[in-house]
A and B are shown apart, each in its own frame.
Chain A
Amino acid sequence: MRPNLAGWCFAGPALVVIAVFFMLPVAAAFVLSLTDFDIYAIADPANLRVVWLHNYVQLLRTALFWKALGNTLYFVVVGVPLSIVVSLATAVLLDSELARFKGAFRTALFAPVVTTVVAVAVVWRNLFHARYGWINYALGAVGIAPVDWLGNPHWSMPAIILFAVWKNFGINMIIFVAALQAIPRELYEAARIEGASATQQFRLVTLPLLGPTLLMVGIVTMAGYFQLFAEPYVMTQGGPLQSTVSALYLMYEQGFKWWSLGVASAVAFALFALMLASTALLLRATRARLAAWGG
């Protein structure tokens, strides 16, 4: 009896906090999404009515909702692979026997990860400045005409993606470096003796052995990128022409600007459903490939 009681005493407080301040609100959010909870209901709960799926149906008829989902998917579909490619490339470089000053390089490459997203978004807003920004200056040096990064609806999302890749690639880089170090060097040696080029070694030895790590990194990164919010909030305020309104940005505006908490909860659950569906799709798509690599 005693160990049981001790276990509950140690685990209990954290479990209560998670239950009360996370699980309960998640369940409440679903209930909320079935009601017309708005500013009148905040004043007096008697104004609350259950509307069942009305919020969801209404959302499906709202152009901005589709736009927000589309923008979020754009960010995820382009941003996640790009992030992973940059992470993997820098990890391979860092893991190379030829690399010098590995510690210093690792620290420099990782530094953006620990910075505050709002603060560096302010910096990048300046770097992307159409007239005075460093990025257009650098492009001009190689003969590319200036781009109105944050003012042109076609370039605003690519700009945010570039920023996000810069900010985030370091996390996965560290994970890839650890996975690369776990690959026995003899395998490369054997491949080299068989006459495999560096590219072939990467394709035939490195990639298959990184398979499970790649999948794990893909799932976690995707979940993170679906939660796009601070970047557009600071850099574009959802504009221009709503080209950077993300699902969470829409949720925030609906919920805390217009106080339509019912609609905002429906947005949150729609995003959650999209995340689950995308993860399931990713797992399905990779299972066959992983099996081929593993076998």
Chain B
Amino acid sequence: MNRPASFAVNGLLLAAAAISVAPLLWMLSASLMPAGQSNVFPPPWVPAAPTLANYRELFARLGVGRYLANSLVVATAGTGLSLLFNVSAGYAFAKLAFAGRERIFQWLLAALVIPAQVAMLPLFLLLRALGLVNSYGGVIVPALASVFGIFLVRQYARSIPDEILEAARLEGAGEARVFVGIVLPLLKPILVTLAIFTFLNIWNDFMWPLIVLTDSRLQTLPVALSLLSREHVQDNELMMAGSVVTVLPPLLLFLGLQRYYIQGLLLGSVKG
């Protein structure tokens, strides 16, 4: 019907999408070039003869396999543990009456204004005293429970009808049975959402792991990549390959479970 307008809208969208994706495609393309090929003017779009040499170098000589494993362990364990803490707390704030519930929840929301970095210096000293500096545990501990996670689960759990829970209790089910047997299955979509969020947050996190992991053998991918990229400023193709390895897992996770991710984003941005 309105052809020029339709052309403009779709043209602008195409341009914006191209700008969004182009740096990622360039990263992939340059990572397949032999050393030095990307640093010419004008830069080539695609490698003349694609090679996996950079990836081989990363894994064989720079030990990136180890960093990848570190990131996977930290993000997976952190996600599993934080689900345990956040989901049970979110359910309690939504459905279980206990003294001071509303006031504590207000405090938690108020604490959202405090930037996490304010806590980092004493947290480092605390974990040092606990012997957790330079350990997977040290990276995970601050991510174990989050106000955002509790809030997200609470928002979702509030829609569970009280009658279902009461009926189960009348039939003699204990609170643990009610939680595992009835609540958890109903919360499944939000569990997936929260799991993706937490995994991506821990995977992509930089400042805290940089502080707490001083031993290079335990470093996560982003920390290792930031240090490698300072040493290898000239080795552009190699660093692009490192970036691909770092970005690929979160990107694939998002592409696979996009629906849950976006739903969580919207649920989390609703004012309480």
Contacts and interface: CB of A to CB of B under 8 A. Distances in A.
Given A14-B85, A132-B38, A111 B24 contact: yes
B264 to A, nearest CB: 11
B191 interface: no
A116 B117 contact: no
Interface in B245-272: 246-247, 250-251, 253-255, 258, 261-262, 265-266, 269, 271
B89 A26 contact: no
A166 interface: yes
Contact of A18 (B93, B125, B145): B145
Contacts of A174: 262, 265-266
Nearest to B16: A90
A226 interface: yes
Interface string A1-26: 00111111111011101100111111
B63 to A, nearest CB: 17
A276 B111 CA distance: 12
A127 B242 contact: no
B126 interface: yes
Given A28-B122, A98-B2, A15 B104 contact: yes
A15 B243 contact: no
Contacts of A161: none
Contacts of A166: 19-20, 23
Interface of chain B, main secondary structure: helix
Contacts of A122: 225-226, 229, 239-240, 242-243
Most central of B142, B229, B242 by chain A CB within 10 Å: B229
Interface in A87-145: 90, 93-94, 96, 98-100, 104-105, 107-112, 114-120, 122-127, 129, 131-134, 137
Interface of chain A, main secondary structure: helix
B49 interface: no
B101 A7 contact: yes
Contact of B265 (A26, A115, A175, A272): A175
Contact of A120 (B124, B175, B243): B243
Contacts of A29: 118-119, 121-122
B193 interface: no
B41 A14 contact: no
A122 B13 CA distance: 26
A60 interface: no
28 contacts: A4-B98, A7-B96, A8-B92, A14-B145, A21-B141, A22-B111, A25-B121, A26-B119, A32-B122, A93-B13, A96-B9, A98-B5, A105-B16, A107-B258, A114-B251, A116-B204, A116-B221, A119-B222, A120-B27, A137-B42, A170-B20, A174-B266, A178-B266, A223-B113, A264-B121, A268-B121, A272-B118, A275-B115
6 smallest beta-carbon distances between A and B, as pairs: A7-B98, A14-B89, A10-B92, A28-B122, A7-B96, A25-B119
Interface of B: 2, 5-6, 9-10, 12-14, 16-17, 19-24, 26-27, 30, 38-43, 84-86, 88-89, 91-93, 96-99, 101, 104, 108, 111, 113-126, 141-142, 144-145, 147, 150, 175, 179, 200, 203-204, 206-207, 210-211, 221-223, 225-226, 229-230, 236, 239-240, 242-244, 246-247, 250-251, 253-255, 258, 261-262, 265-266, 269, 271
Given A220-B269, A229-B207, A252-B211, 19 more contacts: A7-B101, A13-B89, A25-B123, A28-B122, A99-B13, A107-B258, A110-B20, A115-B24, A116-B250, A118-B226, A119-B27, A119-B222, A120-B247, A122-B240, A123-B243, A127-B26, A170-B20, A248-B117, A256-B124
